[in-house]
């Protein structure tokens, strides 16, 4: 009787194929959702839809000068642009560029926030409650990017969680045929290597914005290798069954 480690994907039993297929489909969908989440968060950091080097710089290093130098102005010119009329946005942007004087909070800014922002920001989880002065003052401050505490938290979550994903995707792919051992080993190792590159580049970009390119390369590298392994595994498990005369 053949051991599972000596069995090709096409020869696995139907229950094992179902298990592997369910996992790969869910993980593939999860990777797509992760990409969408990146586009809707980091991808709007520069106020424009679509992931760019500037988005990476603003997310990790921050924007220390020029327009959109605060998170508040960046949001008002970006993802929140359609949620307030131009005159309200302009008043808040002028307030930020004037140094966000606290004396104007109660009389000029708070009424605008309550009228146009608080309905969502005070009630939806995950949104900063900018109706509170202290929160708003932090949003109006110069954007220094991700904090060390935030980077530490997200880094360890990604390293632990995503490595498990790559482990099981790689293990399933190890049963694939048609790849030489060196090529198969390279594909299995690639996502782990690029994951490390991706995480390290967050920290490097925090210190030096020129490393933003490396963040994009890291994310693209492990996504591409994972896609090749997922589709190759699914193809070898099921396509032979669809061919006439093959069962």
pLDDT tens-digit map of 19-60:
999 999 999 999 899 888 777 766 555 556 667 767 777 677
- Establish how many alpha carbons lie within 13 A of residue 210's alpha carbon, considering only the half-sphere containing its beta carbon: 1
Residue 2: φ, ψ to 5°: -75, 140
CA–centroid distance for 201 within its chain: 14
Residues 56, 44 contacting (CB under 8 angstroms): no
Cβ atoms 95, 104 nearer than 8 A: yes
Say yes or no to pLDDT of 110 above 90: no
Distance of CA 195 to the CA centre of its chain: 12
pTM over 0.85: no
Gap between the Cα atoms of 101 and 45, Å rounded: 25
Torsion of CA 173, 179, 185, 191, to 10 degrees: -60
SS (H, E, C) the chain: CCCHHHCCHHHCCHHHHHHHHHHHHHHHHHHHHHHHHHHHCHHHCCCCCCCCHHHHHHHHHCECCCCCCEHHHHHHCCCCHHHCCHHHHHHHHHHHHCCCCHHHHHHHHHHHHHHHCHHHHCCCCCCCCCCCHHHHHHHHCEECCCCHHHHHHHHHHHHHHHHHHHHHHHHHHCCCCCCCHHHHHHHHHHHHHHHHHHHHHHHHHHHCHHHHHHHHHHHHHHHHHHHHHHHHHHHHHHHHHHCCCCC
Question: Per residue in 178-237, pLDDT tens?
Answer: 899 999 999 999 999 999 999 999 898 888 888 888 888 888 899 999 999 999 999 999
Give me the phi and psi of 3, to 5 degrees please.
-75, 155
| Stronger pLDDT, 110 or 145, i.e. the higher one | 110
- CA separation, residue 240 to residues 11, 110, 195 (Å): 10, 65, 33
CA neighbor of 23 nearest in space, from 199, 229, 243: 229
Can you give the pLDDT at residue 35? 82
Give Cα 235 to chain centroid, integer Å. 28
Condensed to tens digits (0 to 9), the pLDDT of residues 220-246 reads 899 999 999 999 999 999 986 655 444
Residue 203 to residue 117: CA distance in whole angstroms: 33
- What pLDDT score does 229 carry? 95
- Say how far apart CA 221 and CA 79 lie, in whole Å: 28
Select the more confidently predicted residue: 14 or 108.
14
């Amino acid at each position: 009787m053949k051991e599972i480690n000596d069995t090709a994907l096409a020869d696995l039993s139907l229950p094992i194929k179902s298990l592997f297929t369910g996992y790969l489909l869910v993980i593939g969908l999860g990777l797509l959702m992760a990409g969408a989440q990146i586009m809707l968060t980091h991808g709007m950091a520069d106020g424009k839809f679509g992931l760019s080097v500037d988005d990476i710089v603003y997310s990790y290093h921050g924007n220390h000068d020029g327009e959109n130098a605060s998170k508040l102005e960046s949001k008002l010119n970006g993802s929140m642009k359609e949620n307030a009329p131009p005159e309200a946005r302009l008043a808040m942007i002028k307030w930020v560029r004037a140094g966000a004087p606290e004396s104007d909070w109660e009389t000029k800014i708070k009424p605008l926030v309550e009228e146009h922002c608080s309905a969502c920001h005070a009630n939806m989880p995950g949104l900063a409650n900018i109706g509170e002065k202290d929160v708003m003052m932090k949003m109006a401050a110069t954007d220094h990017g991700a904090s060390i505490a935030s980077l530490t938290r997200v880094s360890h979550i990604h390293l632990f969680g995503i490595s498990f994903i790559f482990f099981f995707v790689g293990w399933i792919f190890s049963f694939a045929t048609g790849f030489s051992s060196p090529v198969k080993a390279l594909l299995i190792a690639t996502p782990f290597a690029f994951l490390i590159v991706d995480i390290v580049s967050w920290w490097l970009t925090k210190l030096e914005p020129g490393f933003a390119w490396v963040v994009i390369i890291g994310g693209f590298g492990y996504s591409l290798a994972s896609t090749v392994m997922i589709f190759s595994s699914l193809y070898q498990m099921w396509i032979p069954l669809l061919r006439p005369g093959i069962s």
